[in-house]
C-alpha cells in the first residue's frame, strides 16, 4: 500500500520559482496506474489499439532521480528536459468500474522545471526505457486524434495508455489513466474514458486492475531501483 505520509518537507522544491513564463507548462492531472511483470499480452495491445487502428506510440528514455520519495518525482524526459511532479495529498481508493479499482493520485507537473528544484552532483539517477501507446478522450467521451504536436493537455479530457518499461534489462508493463482539466471533473473523465474504450468497458481477460498493482511512477521506481544498477551520480 502507498504510504499517505508526505515527504515534501525533505524535498528541495523552490516555492519562489517562476512558473508563469511561456516556456513552462504546468499540468494538473489525476492518475491511476497499474504495473505488472514482463511485457503486455498481445491480445491486450490488440484490444487497446483496435488492431493497430488507433493510438499514438512514443519510444523514449527518461532518467529518474532516486531519492525514495513516493510523492515527488524528478526526471529528465528524453534524458534532457527536467520535469518536476508533486503529488497533491495522499492517494485515495477509487473504482472506475466493477473490477477496475486502484489508487487515485493528483499530481502537479512543471516542464521544464529548471530553477524550481535544486540538483546536486551527489544525487543518484536511473535510466528508464519506455514504449508508450496512448489514446485521448474528450469530456464527452469522444476519442481525439493525437499527434506529436498535439500532446499538450489543453481543455479537459483523459489520456489512457499502455506502456512497456525497462530498467537495466528488467521489463514491466503498465496500464494508466490521466485525467486533466477542472479538478472536480477528473473522476467523471476517468469513467468516460473507460466507457469509451473497445469492448464496452468489459475488462479483457489479461487485464487485472486491482489496488495491489496500483501505484504512481515515483513509488514504482523506488520499488524497482534496488535491483537495478544506478547511473553515474550527477548525470
State how beta strands 81-87 and 124-138 pair: unpaired
From residue 193, give the alpha-carbon distance in Å to each of 2, 96, 198, 224: 25, 10, 10, 29
Domain-located, residue 145 = yes
Q: Which pLDDT belongs to residue 12? A: 39
**Chain Cα centroid distance, residue 116:** 20
Domain-located, residue 42 = yes
Q: Which pLDDT belongs to residue 234? A: 46
Distance, CA of 137 to CA of 125 (rounded, Å): 34
Three-class SS of 110-142: EECCCCCECCCCCCEEEEEEEEEEEEEEECCCC
The model's pTM is 0.86
Domain-located, residue 4 = no
Domain-located, residue 190 = yes
From residue 50, give the alpha-carbon distance in Å to each of 43, 113, 135: 10, 36, 11
Contact 184, 35 (CB under 8 A): no
Domain-located, residue 8 = no
Distance, CA of 78 to CA of 93 (rounded, Å): 32
Domain-located, residue 113 = yes
Q: Which pLDDT belongs to residue 67? A: 92
pLDDT along the chain (235 residues), means of 10: 34 41 83 97 94 95 95 95 97 92 97 92 94 96 86 89 93 97 97 88 80 96 74 51
Domain-located, residue 139 = yes
Domain-located, residue 182 = yes
Q: What is the CATH number of the domain that holds 111?
A: 2.40.320
Range of the domain at 82: 25-227
Q: Which pLDDT belongs to residue 20? A: 44
What domain count does the chain have? 1
Amino acid at each position: 500500500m502507498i504510504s499517505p505520509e508526505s515527504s515534501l518537507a525533505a524535498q528541495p522544491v523552490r516555492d519562489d520559482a517562476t512558473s508563469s513564463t511561456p516556456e513552462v507548462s504546468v499540468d494538473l492531472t489525476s492518475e491511476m496506474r497499474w504495473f505488472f511483470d514482463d511485457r503486455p499480452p498481445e491480445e491486450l495491445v490488440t484490444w487497446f489499439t483496435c488492431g493497430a487502428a488507433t493510438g499514438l506510440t512514443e519510444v523514449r528514455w527518461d532518467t529518474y532521480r532516486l531519492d525514495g520519495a513516493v510523492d515527488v518525482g524528478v526526471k529528465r524526459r528524453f534524458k534532457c528536459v527536467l520535469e518536476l511532479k508533486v503529488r497533491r495529498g495522499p492517494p485515495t481508493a477509487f473504482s472506475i468500474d466493477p473490477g477496475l479499482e486502484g489508487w487515485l493520485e493528483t499530481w502537479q507537473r512543471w516542464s521544464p522545471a529548471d530553477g524550481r528544484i535544486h540538483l546536486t552532483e551527489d544525487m543518484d539517477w536511473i535510466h528508464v526505457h519506455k514504449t508508450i501507446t496512448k489514446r485521448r478522450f474528450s469530456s464527452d467521451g469522444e476519442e481525439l486524434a493525437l499527434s506529436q504536436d498535439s500532446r499538450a493537455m489543453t481543455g479537459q479530457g483523459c489520456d489512457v495508455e499502455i506502456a512497456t518499461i525497462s530498467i537495466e534489462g528488467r521489463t514491466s508493463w503498465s496500464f494508466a489513466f490521466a485525467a486533466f482539466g477542472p479538478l472536480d471533473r477528473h473522476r467523471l473523465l476517468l469513467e468516460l474514458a473507460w466507457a469509451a474504450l473497445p469492448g464496452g468497458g468489459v475488462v479483457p481477460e489479461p487485464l487485472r486492475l486491482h489496488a495491489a498493482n496500483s501505484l504512481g511512477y515515483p513509488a514504482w521506481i523506488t520499488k524497482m531501483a534496488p535491483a537495478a544498477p544506478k547511473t553515474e551520480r550527477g548525470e
